Amino acid sequence: MDLYAKGHNPHAIVEKMGMPRTSVYTDLGVIKRQARTNLDTWIEKELPLEYQNLYHNTRALLVGSWDIINDEHSSDRSVNNALNVVLDCCHFLRDLLADGTDIVGGVKMYLENQERVRALKYENNQHIEAIQRDKRNSQAIF
């Protein structure tokens, strides 16, 4: 299999390994059938689950982003960043629902935006705490 994976054809494998030609062709046939079965299983069972996970995780990013956008205490910067996440999510969902071919890109988009939303929530909480501190300090003065 190593030689085949490195681009050698069956004839070259027979020459290099000194094995009977029928053994090499039989072994490669078994490996190809196993690979096909594994691929079919993955496509039928795993891929739909991956799409479902991407869809639900992207929806969760949208909810978190809209929470930041609609929070009256959110800074303009946080709102702007959250709007960018919403746009990314909407574009990805459109692509996923239209043709669904980019699972790797979807995972990457989710992970990047998940971190962005987490950072925005932290930043937003810091902003709210600063506003509350300012209110307490101004009330203490009077």
The predicted model gives 105-111 an average pLDDT of: 69
Q: Please state, rounded to an integer, the average pLDDT across all residues of the chain.
A: 82
Res 1: pLDDT: 57
Does residue 121 contact residue 64 with C-beta atoms inside 8 Å?
yes
Q: Which residue has the higher pLDDT, 101 or 12?
A: 12
Distances in Å between the alpha carbon of 56 and those of 9, 128, 132? 44, 29, 34
Alpha carbons 80 and 15: distance in angstroms, whole number: 64
Q: How confident is the model at residue 103 (pLDDT cuts 50, 70, 90)?
A: low
Number of folded domains that form the chain: 1
| Global pTM value | 0.52
pLDDT tens per residue across span 44-85: 788 778 888 888 888 898 999 999 999 998 889 899 999 999
For residue 125, give its domain range.
2-141
